């Protein structure tokens, strides 16, 4: 799940860690926390974001969710960006053009 991915900036040297913080949260997933708290966000895949947009309380994570989250997190790690750049939380949509822009930059290297 997306909450298992952590990126930190330690004196301008990014640190990338995979961990499970679910034991520290009263929610069973980051999606549930997003539904319950208005100020928490996670890199949701398109299907989960649609459920979030519809205010659907059911979180059904599968491998696609994890792969999407890892992909977004990897882009953030490579380009030293916050994952919020790839989302418009006001309308609850993914900024596919931004993802495409970064993928094109990667293909030029």
Cα 107 to Cα 104: distance, rounded to the nearest angstrom: 5
pLDDT tens, 10-53?
666 666 666 555 666 788 778 888 888 888 888 899 999 999 99
**Sequence ranges of the domains in the chain:** 2-107
State the chain's mean pLDDT as an integer. Answer: 82
Q: What is the pLDDT of residue 91?
A: 96
Is pTM beyond 0.95 here? no
Cα 93 to Cα 81: distance, rounded to the nearest angstrom: 18
| CA-based nearest residue to 38, from 73, 95, 90, 2 | 90
Query: Residue 76, CB half-sphere, CA atoms under 13 Å: how many?
Result: 23
């Amino acid at each position: 799940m997306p909450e298992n991915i952590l990126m930190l900036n330690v004196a301008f040297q990014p640190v990338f860690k995979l961990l499970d913080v679910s034991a520290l949260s009263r929610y069973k997933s980051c999606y549930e926390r997003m539904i319950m708290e208005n100020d928490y966000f996670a890199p949701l895949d398109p299907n989960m974001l649609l459920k979030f947009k519809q205010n659907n309380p059911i979180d059904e994570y599968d491998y696609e969710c994890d792969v999407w989250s890892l992909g977004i997190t990897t882009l953030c790690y490579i380009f030293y960006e916050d994952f919020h750049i790839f989302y418009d939380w006001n309308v609850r949509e993914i900024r596919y053009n931004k993802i495409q822009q970064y993928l094109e930059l990667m293909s030029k290297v």
